[in-house]
Amino acid sequence: MSDIDHLSLLASFSGFKVRVLANRLGCDSGLARTAHDRLIAKLGDLISLMREGLSAERDLLLDETSERYQHAAEQIYWIAEEFAHRWLADGRIPLLDDLIIDWATREILDIHARRWRPYDGSPVLDDVSDAELCGLRRIIDEIAAETGVRFSACRIVYDASDAAPPYERPLFDGVEML
């Protein structure tokens, strides 16, 4: 049996999806609408995964000798693995831009040329401000605090001098961080 509380996570993700949908109505830029739309789609994927988990948990209430019971136990295992490796794994889930850097070889994947090239410190990822996201940053931080699923909203900057200074964002224990 998995230690994931599918029902609580389903309620959390559904509530966040409604908030993001409502917040999207106030978007005044294409960048903000794109970030909102991508977060809505990813929350939809998470809601579907939690629904599958609830269905499998319901099947576990059947007789232990039934085939549906055996299938449900295996399905719960794979749902837990997908949640851990796809949604909770190392790092944030990008909503906008992302860089793929191989730190062992100091190479960056050039997605346009579809080949690896040496990484010389440029480009870099720069966080998009809450104002540019029309309030989405606050919701992203709340999702991370409540569920552990972390999203990022960054843009690629090719000249580090063009990058905006990092915004101040409180950590969840009340400590301010740059």
Contact between 156 and 44 (Cβ < 8 Å):
no
Alpha helices in the chain (DSSP H): 6-24, 30-59, 67-82, 136-147
Examine the pLDDT at 164 and tell me if it is beyond 80: no
pLDDT in tens, 22-65: 999 999 999 999 999 999 999 999 999 999 999 999 888 877 77
Q: Which residues lie below 8 Å from residue 105, measured CB to CB, with a gap of 6+?
A: 116
pLDDT in tens, 95-154: 998 888 888 888 888 777 788 888 887 888 888 999 999 999 999 999 999 999 999 998
Domain parsing of the chain, residue ranges? 6-165
Residues forming a β-bridge with 127: 154
Q: What is the pLDDT of residue 42?
A: 96
Amino acid (one-letter) located at 102: D
Element (H, E) at 93: strand 93-94
